[in-house]
Homo-oligomer: A and B are copies of this chain.
Amino acid sequence: MRTNSHQALRLEFLQRIQSGEWALGSRIPGEIQLAEHYGCARATVNRALRSLADDGLLIRKRKGGTHVSPVPARRARLTIPIVREEVEAMGQVYRHAVRRRSTRVPAARVRATLGTDAGVVCVYLETLHFANDRPFAFETRWINPIAVPAIREERFAELSANEWLVRSVPFSNGRLRLSAEKATKTIATALEISAGTAVFQVDRTTWDKDVVVTTMQLYYPPGYQLTSQL
C-alpha cells in the first residue's frame, strides 16, 4: 500500500481506531514501522499521528510509544463568537447600541477579577447587540484603565466595545467560561424576556501579561446554542 499525504494517513489511522482494529488503549506500531509500511517518510507519519494526538485520540510518549487513548476525550474546536459575525452569518442585519457607560469603582467581586484596588475608577459598559433590530445578545464589560489608558477617550460609536478592544489592545492570554444563568432584571429588560429566564452566558477575561485588561459577559436569550463539530 502506498499513501503518502499526511491527510490520507490521518484518515487511514482514524479509520483503524474507529473500526476497532487499533483497540482503545492499545499500543500502535512505531513511526518507523508505519513509514516503511506505507512507503513514505517518517516525518509524514509523524505529522499524521501528531494531528490525531492533538485531537485527543492518541497519546504519545517518547520511548513509551503511541497508544490509542483509552477514553477518547476528544477535543473540540470552538470558534469564539464575535457577535457581529454571528449575526451577519445568519444573513441578518447587525446593529448595536451602548445602553450605559459609566466610570466608577467596581464592586469587590469585580475588583477581584480585574485585580484593581478599591480606589481605582474603571470603565463600565452595557451594550445591546441586535439582529434585524431584535435583541440578540446583551454585553456587560469592565475595562481596566491601568491596562488601557486610551479608554478614556473612546466613545464606541462605530465599533462595539468588543471589537474595539480586540482590535486595539494587545493581550497575551484569556479565559473563556460558559454557563447557564438566570436573567437578572437588567439582562431581562435588555433582551426583552422575563427575569429569571435561563440565559446562556459567555464570560471572557483577558490579560496582558499579568494585568487584566477587561472582563466581559455576553448573555444570549433562550434558543441560542453554541455548536461544534467533533
List A residues at the B interface (Cβ < 8 Å). 18-20, 24, 56, 70-80, 82, 85, 163, 166-167, 170-182, 196-201, 203-204, 206, 208, 220, 222-230
* Residue pair A71, B163 in contact (C-beta under 8 Å): yes
Shortest distance between the CB of A176 and any CB in chain B (Å): 5
Q: Distance (Å) between the CB of A27 and the closest chain B CB?
A: 17
Find chain B residues with CB under 8 A from A19 CB.
Answer: 170
Known: A180-B180, A182-B222, A197-B182. A227 touches B74 (CB 8 A): no
Q: A73-B79, A179-B223 are in contact. List 7 more A-B contacts (CB 8 A).
A: A70-B167, A75-B78, A75-B79, A177-B226, A177-B227, A182-B222, A198-B199
Residues on B with beta carbons closer than 8 Å to the beta carbon of A204 = 230
A179: shortest Cβ distance to chain B, in Å? Answer: 4
Q: Closest Cβ of chain B: how far from A146's Cβ, in Å? A: 18
Give CA–CA (A182, B222) in the complex, Å: 9
Chain B residues with CB below 8 A from A77, complex form: 75-78
Task: Kindly provide the distance from the CB of A218 to the nearest chain B CB, expressed in whole angstroms.
Answer: 12
Whether the pair B180, A78 counts as a contact (CB closer than 8 A) is: no
Residue of B nearest to A208 (CB): B18
Is A182 touching B198 in the complex (CB atoms < 8 A)?
yes
* A166 near B71: Cβ-Cβ < 8 Å: yes
Of the candidates B75, B173, B198, the one whose C-beta lies within 8 Å of that of A180 is B198
Q: Which residue of B lies closest to A74 (CB)?
A: B80
Name A178's contact: one of B18, B70, B170, B200 (CB within 8 Å): B200
Q: With contacts A18-B172, A230-B80 known, is A179 near B200, CB below 8 A?
A: yes
| Top 10 closest pairs, chain A to chain B, by CB | A198-B198, A180-B180, A174-B230, A179-B225, A180-B200, A18-B170, A180-B198, A178-B226, A176-B228, A78-B78
